[in-house]
Amino acid sequence: MKNRTTVERKSERETVVTRTFNAPARIVFEAWTKPELFKKWWLPKSMGMTLIACEMDVRTGGTYRLVFGQGMEFFGRYTEVTPHSRLVWINEEGGDNGSVTTVTFEEEGGKTLLVVSELYNSKEALDAAGTGAADALVETFQQLDELLVTLGAS
Amino acid sequence: MVQYLDAGLDASFAALSDATRRGVLEQLGRAEASISDLAEKFNMTLTGMKKHVGVLERAGLVRTEKVGRVRTCKIGPRRLEEEMAWLDRYRQLWEARFDELDKVVEELKRKGQVDGRKKRE
């Protein structure tokens, strides 16, 4: 059974996503901080995009850089790294419109509650983030649904 | 999310429960107007119109901007359908990511059971 993903728009500039994972925080944190693991899930296959580079220097002040085959590039800086509990980074590719992402890992009874909060500089920046990449996603999700039906995937 | 929507909807419905305010929205949908324009059109005092505009503004249905001595009112940023659609897309993105993340986590758990002893040495 899949755990439920909840999405909340906290304010005009902030979104919060929560999800529980059936594993200790140590493991979930590892999947967020090791590039070879991170790249397995950050770009869902359904996006039809590929990561050609994924560099992550996960420590306070360290930088990251994600390069997509389609010529897009995301980069930024980690401003807080607390093993197994908290991760904060600033997206710098958008210049002044960069957002701050805060991820917290809360372990309870061997499970981990993950909270991802994205804070944008303005409502406009948040709206733009939603309509850009995510717009393309909807189409590819539909394709994925069809594909999954074909494959009989569970 | 439910709380957010509820709070937002409450404000919207409260704002829309008044005929004058619905009229003001309709009016602003056609063209922006100053508070005194609106007061005149709806046969109200300036203070009365300010109150109505304030309610609409707090619900996000109207936004106002003061230029010099004139406060201009426009249709606000809040468009429920757009917001819902945005959230939907956002959720889809994260659901897809987390489904993949589940797989990575499961794999790590399996590996952890095997490698655990080695790491602790």
Domains of chain A are: 6-151 (3.30.530.20)
Contact A115, A18 (CB under 8 A): yes
* Amino acid type, B80: L
Structure confidence at residue A45 (pLDDT): 73
Radius of gyration over alpha carbons of chain A, in Å?
Answer: 16
Task: Give CA–CA dist B105/A112, Å, rounded.
Answer: 11
Task: Give CA–CA dist A109/B21, Å, rounded.
Answer: 52
Which segments of A2-151 does DSSP mark as H helices, in order?
25-33, 35-41, 123-131, 133-151
Contact A125, A97 (CB under 8 A): yes
**B111 to chain A, closest Cα gap in Å:** 11
Residue-wise pLDDT for A93-104, tens only, equals 877 667 899 999
pLDDT exceeds 80 at position B94: yes
Q: What is the ipTM of this complex?
A: 0.76
Which member of A21, A27, A116 has the closest CB to residue B112?
Answer: A27
Structure confidence at residue A1 (pLDDT): 65
The residue with greater pLDDT, A126 or B80, is A126
Give the CA count within 13 Å in the CB-facing half-sphere of A48: 13
Contact B104, B97 (CB under 8 A): no
Structure confidence at residue B118 (pLDDT): 62
Residue-wise pLDDT for B35-54, tens only, equals 999 999 999 999 999 999 99
Task: Give CA–CA dist B116/B94, Å, rounded.
Answer: 30
Give yes or no for B114 touching A (CB within 8 A): no
Give yes or no for A7 touching B (CB within 8 A): yes
- Tell me whether residues B108 and A21 touch, CB distance under 8 A: no
- Helical axes B46-58 vs B2-16, angle rounded to 10°: 160
* CA terminus-to-terminus distance, chain A: 11
Structure tokens of B6? 């509820």
Structure tokens of A35? 């590039």
Contacts of B116 (CB under 8 A, 6+ apart): none
